Structure 1
Amino acid sequence: MRTFVRAADRGQLQHAADELGVTQQAVSKRVAALERELGVRLFTRTTRGVELTLDGQAFLPHARGIVAAVDRAVGAVRPGARARRIDVLGRRSAQAVVLHDHWRSRPGTALDVVTLRVDDPRVAAAAVRAGEVDAAFRTVTDPAALPPEVRMVHAFDSPLELLVGPRHPLAAARTLRPHELRGWRIWVPGIAPGSEWGEFYDQLATAFDLNVDATGPHFGDEVLLDVLADSADVATLVGARDRYVWPAGHDLRRIPIADPTLAYPISLLLPRTNPHPGLRAILDHLAGLPAPPEPAWRPSWATPQPGAGHRRR
């Protein structure tokens, strides 16, 4: 099929042979085999070379489409050519925001951002091992549960902020210390058992004696923001880089937490062997992200690795 397209474009079997790196005899045999398969003549010979028959003219656009589709199919599985497929927790998450910043610094970079919709990070690790994604922003908190074919690097730390409505007693604060959150209802709906964020909030609540309430189904960020806007006693925690948008009338407040900073550690899972070549650029971008202000609190399973995911500044 490719030989037929080249011969039709060049009008000379020899020119097609030169492009394809074969002999003119090989081109003639390929065209003849295709004609036998189709049961029609595709070319007529002239003193100048070859010309398409009416059947050849009808067949050419379809042949072009088939050759182009094959080229796209091959490119889709060629690691250096296809888009990097990266899993993030959500489209508004800090991971997605960081990836967007990376893409903006390299316009035109092929990047496929997906959400696996799984809570167990081990399932995400299995997807990396199987090649369903090239990398995943997930943390397997138990190193023994990480498949040997997958490695985990520290990507960056996401400082937490308190998000409250204008009627909340803490709404006027410029910054807060963790102990000032005691006694307030911090509503984080949808914490899934066995998830990395479930373990994070368990340790956070224990470390600072906080009331982290995960009751009730999570009907989406819009519903959560509506509740905060109307409440005088409900707050939630969000990452400093997380992207949230709400109506101007909500007048919600994002308040940094410091002394210590509550740092949510984010890791990147990727294959140990033959990772997508484009992942190096993402790792370099992560390495340039600033670290949260110190002192910082992190969960027990977090082990910052300067140089692997970011460098301290």
Structure 2
Amino acid sequence: MDTEALRSFVRAAELGQFQHAADELGVTQQAVSKRIATLERELEVRLFTRTARGVELTLDGQAFLSHARSIVAGVERAINAVRPGSRALRIDVLGLRSAQAVVLHDYWRSRPEANLDVVTLRANDPRVVVAAVEAGDIDASFRTVIAPAVLPPDLQMIHAFDSPLELLVGPRHPLASARRLTPPQLHKHRIWVPGIAPRSEWAEFYDQLATDFDLRIDAAGPHFGDEVLLDTLAESADVATLVGARDRYIWPTNHDLRRIPIVNPTLAYPLSLILPRTNPHPELRGIINHLGTLPRLPDAVWRPSWATTPQRAESGESDIENAQRSRPRPR
């Protein structure tokens, strides 16, 4: 079905005259008449009756109008979605309170004209996220594929930033008064991280963290949400959890929870950015530039063995700088 004929039908119905519709659409009245005649033949019904003042919808025309409007509006939305400079950058984060979302918000505050669509795919399996980037459903994702060799050849994964971990405890916990902690001081304390999904990057992270520092990471039970986790910490004298230093958590004042930095070494959760190798969304250049300005962690840092880290190429360029050289696709 010809969408221009549908557009002509909708405007003629709304304006009541073929000539007015033609003037608005920038075509002749004859063109509008021909489009609507073709549409009537295709539908095998009369859509208009002529009156002294112009045209009026028939009963069939009235029934068809709302559907035609929906089709025309859908086509316009589709066109706007790919029109140069008009489509928002669709970028996936692990959660809207996560460090990635915080970093993106800081970027947007520095560039409020940036058109961002921050989404959460709710997918634990990184292969689902990779497929979404490859299909163009999203433009980029703050995820990590632990075995980069399995990435499709048209995608790349670069180091985004490292998120240092903090211990979060309630006021009755034995470590609550500490100003900072080292990993050995966490030994034998229960660190509750509910809802760790198998095959997810964070499952691999906590497995390696527990092994390397002989920590007691407890993933028992379903994750009923951050509020339940924070309530449990406030009431407990022996339960702690790990959170990212940039992650945003909000709790009642009477919870009196404590965020305690972990040092010597700093425990770093490595965050990567998966994006197309060629023709990335133009807005990604600004985000990658912003990532390059984030402060680096101190030298004494623990990362899992599979972490992506900033690498210096022979030319002296980092992986972020190399990603910036990818030619943006026109929009």
TM-score, L = length of structure 1: 0.82
Please say which of residues 205-214 and 26-35 is displaced more in the overlay: 26-35
Shift of 1:297: 1.5
**1:275-310 alpha-carbon deviations (Å, 9 max, x no partner):** 333322322222222222332211111231264449
Aligned to 2:296: 291
Map residues 199-214 of structure 1 onto 2, 5 A cutoff: 199-214=204-219
Map residues 266-281 of structure 1 onto 2, 5 A cutoff: 266-281=271-286
Please say which of residues 105-114 and 252-261 is displaced more in the overlay: 105-114
Map residues 27-106 of structure 1 onto 2, 5 A cutoff: 27-34=32-39, 39-41=46-48, 52-55=54-57, 66-78=71-83, 80-106=85-111
Secondary structure of the equivalent of 1:127? Answer: helix
| Equivalent residues, number | 303
TM-score, L = length of structure 2: 0.78
Shift of 1:162: 0.7
Aligned to 1:121: 126
Identity of aligned residues (%): 66
Aligned to 1:169: 174
The partner residue of 2:153 within 123, 148, 163 is 148
* Distance 1:305-1:66 versus aligned 2 partners, 3 A rule: same
The one-letter code matched in structure 1 to 2:56 is L
1:52 and 1:273 map into 2 onto residues whose CA distance is 54
1:164 and 1:15 map into 2 onto residues whose CA distance is 67
1:227 aligns with 2:232: yes
The partner residue of 1:190 within 173, 195, 203 is 195
The partner residue of 2:143 within 138, 146, 150 is 138
Q: Give me the CA root mean square deviation.
A: 3.2
Shift of 1:3: 4.2
User: 5+ unaligned residues in a row in structure 1: which ranges?
Assistant: 46-50
Q: Check whether the contact 1:79–1:277 (CA below 8 A) recurs between aligned residues.
A: no
Aligned to 1:48: none
2:303 and 2:150 map into 1 onto residues whose CA distance is 21
Please say which of residues 301-310 and 212-221 is displaced more in the overlay: 301-310
**1:101-140 alpha-carbon deviations (Å, 9 max, x no partner):** 2333333644332222222212211222222322221101
1:131 and 1:293 map into 2 onto residues whose CA distance is 37
The one-letter code matched in structure 1 to 2:141 is A
Q: Check whether the contact 1:190–1:218 (CA below 8 A) recurs between aligned residues.
A: yes
Please say which of residues 296-305 and 110-119 is displaced more in the overlay: 110-119
2:205 and 2:218 map into 1 onto residues whose CA distance is 13
Q: Check whether the contact 2:22–2:28 (CA below 8 A) recurs between aligned residues.
A: no
Q: Check whether the contact 1:161–1:254 (CA below 8 A) recurs between aligned residues.
A: yes
The one-letter code matched in structure 1 to 2:310 is Q
**1:208-264 alpha-carbon deviations (Å, 9 max, x no partner):** 222222223222222211121122222111000111111111100001112221111
Moved over 6 A (4+): 5-9, 42-45, 58-61
Please say which of residues 222-231 and 22-31 is displaced more in the overlay: 22-31
